[in-house]
């Protein structure tokens, strides 16, 4: 993860949306006469960031609730006053498909402006038949015309909806027997995720939900071991999940389960930072075990309203003790693997999709070091300039 394969004075040649050559500028100048030229002199050219864990399908933000949290009001009291995740659910249900699409599109614009060229995007603020499908359809429409790459995940098992609190079994059956098959048949999602956590979904419920997903061809991802170690990472291993995410409280047995079953650990350190949690995921231990650690924002209106991969890298360096090079690998090639897209994106290599970012910094380490600033000078997606002065 520390070897970025740096090429000083390098150039990238792109044709028909793909990288056709990477090499010294002098060689490429001799061999190509490009129609469009993007001058990156004095800067750093890198693969576009891949953000493999986001919740962007929502309308209302929750800064008032954040202020209460800062003042020490407990989450239960905030929820009683009408805040918390269910307040986001109420707003998503009240929004028309057009309103939800406009809000989500603005979120995707912001990801792209900060150098993220592919995001995984979860539903999960609808929590009803109608509103989960509405959320997935918003993602499907944006997939078709937004320049950013969108990989959709069904997260109907994000919370137990308020109206099913006294009969959670009925909601789980709606998920397993109706929503999951429908999302799969209509091609609305590639993955199915579940929030396996104390007070949310148990390991046994999560297993049933993920099994139902696998029966219809949706591979598993798991919100695992964020606040408590229930055995969610072990479940991710058992289900051969593509990723297990959060992992703040993962045990040694959990790490072994990920390793033995090729489950990619996706760490979300900006969430622990924003919630001011005393602990962080044991990134060093996982890296030393040889696990391909990936980083993601967890962008959502409650626990992490951050859409910047560079800021996540800063937190990973400071709190998880990852080196800047490890953080870069975790935010690009390993993140692409967490979406099973490692053969298409996440690397600057011949044959890969031409998703590139030009940073106006002389050293890649400055991207995370000089934190809180956006160093992006230009973004290229599938060979087209989509952010920057030359974009048309």
User: In the complex, which residues of this chain contact Zn ion (CB under 5 A)?
Assistant: 298
Q: Closest distance between Zn ion and the C-beta of residue 88, in Å?
A: 12
Q: Which is nearer to Zn ion, 298 or 355 (CB)?
A: 298
Q: Which is nearer to Zn ion, 19 or 312 (CB)?
A: 312
Q: Which is nearer to Zn ion, 221 or 381 (CB)?
A: 221
**CA pair distance 349, 18, nearest whole angstrom:** 9
Look up residue 193 and give its two tokens. 């995720």
Q: How many residues would you count in the chain?
A: 392
Q: Closest distance between Zn ion and the C-beta of residue 246, in Å?
A: 7
Q: Closest distance between Zn ion and the C-beta of residue 20, in Å?
A: 37
Q: Which residues neighbour 162 within 8 Å (Cβ) at sequence distance 6 or greater? A: 86, 89
> Would you say 155 and 122 are in contact if contact means Cβ atoms under 8 Å apart?
yes
Q: Which is nearer to Zn ion, 159 or 298 (CB)?
A: 298
Q: Closest distance between Zn ion and the C-beta of residue 103, in Å?
A: 18
Q: Closest distance between Zn ion and the C-beta of residue 53, in Å?
A: 6
Q: Closest distance between Zn ion and the C-beta of residue 298, in Å?
A: 5
Look up residue 350 and give its two tokens. 């011949």
Q: Closest distance between Zn ion and the C-beta of residue 193, in Å?
A: 8
Q: Closest distance between Zn ion and the C-beta of residue 154, in Å?
A: 13
Strands 294-295 and 264-267: what pairing? parallel
- DSSP conformation letters of 356-380: EEEES-SSTTHHHHSTTS--EEEEE
Separation of first and last alpha carbons in the chain = 36
Q: Which is nearer to Zn ion, 280 or 298 (CB)?
A: 298
**CA pair distance 302, 291, nearest whole angstrom:** 29
Q: Which is nearer to Zn ion, 62 or 375 (CB)?
A: 62
Q: Closest distance between Zn ion and the C-beta of residue 254, in Å?
A: 17
Q: Closest distance between Zn ion and the C-beta of residue 55, in Å?
A: 6
Look up residue 343 and give its two tokens. 């053969």
Q: What angle do CA 189, 242, 230 make, to 5 degrees?
A: 105
Centre a 10 Å sphere on the Cβ of residue 30 and count the other Cβ atoms it contains.
9
Q: Which residues neighbour 76 within 8 Å (Cβ) at sequence distance 6 or greater? A: none
Q: Which is nearer to Zn ion, 45 or 224 (CB)?
A: 224
Sign (positive/negative) of CA torsion 74, 80, 85, 91? negative
The residue to which tokens 């060229």 are assigned: 117
Q: Which is nearer to Zn ion, 303 or 353 (CB)?
A: 303
Look up residue 126 and give its two tokens. 């609808």
Centre a 10 Å sphere on the Cβ of residue 255 and count the other Cβ atoms it contains.
20
Q: Which residues neighbour 226 within 8 Å (Cβ) at sequence distance 6 or greater? A: 197, 246, 247, 248, 249, 271
> Would you say 265 and 281 are in contact if contact means Cβ atoms under 8 Å apart?
yes
3-state class of 318 per DSSP? helix
**CA pair distance 159, 171, nearest whole angstrom:** 10
Q: Which is nearer to Zn ion, 51 or 298 (CB)?
A: 298
Q: Which is nearer to Zn ion, 195 or 359 (CB)?
A: 195
With CB atoms as reference, the residue minimizing the distance to Zn ion is 298
Outline where 75-221 has alpha helix (H): 75-80, 85-94, 97-113, 129-145, 168-174, 180-185, 203-215
């Amino acid at each position: 993860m520390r070897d970025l394969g740096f090429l000083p004075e390098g150039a990238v040649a792109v044709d028909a949306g793909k990288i056709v050559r990477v090499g010294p500028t002098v060689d490429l100048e001799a061999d190509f006469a490009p129609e469009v030229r993007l001058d990156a002199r004095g800067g750093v050219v890198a693969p576009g960031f891949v953000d493999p864990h986001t919740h962007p399908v929502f309308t209302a933000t929750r800064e008032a609730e954040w202020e209460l949290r800062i003042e020490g009001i407990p989450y239960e009291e905030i929820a009683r006053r009408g805040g918390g995740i269910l307040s986001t659910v109420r707003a998503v249900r009240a929004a028309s498909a057009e309103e939800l699409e406009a809000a989500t599109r603005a979120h995707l614009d912001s990801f792209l402006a900060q150098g993220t060229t592919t995001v995984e995007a979860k539903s999960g603020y609808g929590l009803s038949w109608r509103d989960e499908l509405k959320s997935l359809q918003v993602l499907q429409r944006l997939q078709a015309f937004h320049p950013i790459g969108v990989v959709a995940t069904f997260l109907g098992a994000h919370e137990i909806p308020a109206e099913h609190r006294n009969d959670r079994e009925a909601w789980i059956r709606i998920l397993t027997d109706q929503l999951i098959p429908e999302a799969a048949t209509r091609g609305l999602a590639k993955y199915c995720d579940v929030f396996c956590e104390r007070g949310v979904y148990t390991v046994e419920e999560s297993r049933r939900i993920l099994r139902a997903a696998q029966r219809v061809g949706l591979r598993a991802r798991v919100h695992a071991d964020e606040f408590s170690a229930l055995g969610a990472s072990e479940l991710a291993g058992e289900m051969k999940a593509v990723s297990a995410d959060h992992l703040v409280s993962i045990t040694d047995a959990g790490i072994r389960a990920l390793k033995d079953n090729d489950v990619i650990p996706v760490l979300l350190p900006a969430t622990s930072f924003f919630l001011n949690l005393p602990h962080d995921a044991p990134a060093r231990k996982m890296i030393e075990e040889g696990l391909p650690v990936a980083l993601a924002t967890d962008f959502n209106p409650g626990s992490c309203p951050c859409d910047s991969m560079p800021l996540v890298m800063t937190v990973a360096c400071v709190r998880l003790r990852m080196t800047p090079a490890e953080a870069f690998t975790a935010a690009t090639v390993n993140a692409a693997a967490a979406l099973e897209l490692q053969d298409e994106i996440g690397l600057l290599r011949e044959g890969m999709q031409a998703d590139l970012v030009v940073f106006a910094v002389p050293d890649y380490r400055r991207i995370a070091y000089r934190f809180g600033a956006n160093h992006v000078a230009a973004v290229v997606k599938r060979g087209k300039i989509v952010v920057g002065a030359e974009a048309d």
